[in-house]
Amino acid sequence: MKLRSMTSLYLLSGDRLILLRRNSGIAKDLYVAAAGGHFEESELCSPEVCVLREAKEELGLEKEDIAGLALRYIALKYANGEIRQNYYFFGRISPEKAAGLTSNEGELVALSPEKAPDLPAPFCPPFVLRHWLETGRYDTRLYGGAATADGLEFSPMD
């Protein structure tokens, strides 16, 4: 059985959530976090190193550009003979940084966070975003989510 580890970075700027509408690959025309991707072998023990590398490669952002960077969700899903685990980070960037932000992966859009869960997306992100909107944005806990046929079931991990 294979294990696929990935990170995703949701960025907030003011009252807007920045999402990426992918322009290629398996997630083409789907809305995903502003940056993210697969772990490199040297990052397997540090999701933060992976998400910061992805933020640099895809958005040109450095660690100091992202305020309050925090791992908030870990989602597990079994699909196509592999366990997929995604580490979801949230952070903030200034409106000035957001205004000049571009991605080499597709089109960045800034929208009300409440609209995000209803956009076309891969399986797990809408459930992560709904939980964050209802619960996660009001605390600092780390949540784990296991995929079921109906979505993700979350539990605090503390």
Residue 117's nearest CA partner among 37, 10, 22 is 10
pLDDT at 28: 77
Residue stretches of the chain with pLDDT short of 70: none
pLDDT for 41: 87
Predicted pLDDT at 43: 87
Angle at 21 (CA atoms; ends 16, 24), nearest 5 degrees: 160
Cα-to-chain-centroid distance, residue 33? 4
Give alpha helix (H) positions in the chain: 47-59, 95-99, 124-134
Give the per-residue pLDDT at 32. 93
Give the per-residue pLDDT at 25. 73
The CA radius of gyration of the chain, in Å to the nearest whole number, is: 15
Q: Mean pLDDT of all residues in the chain?
A: 94
Residue 110 is predicted with a pLDDT of: 97
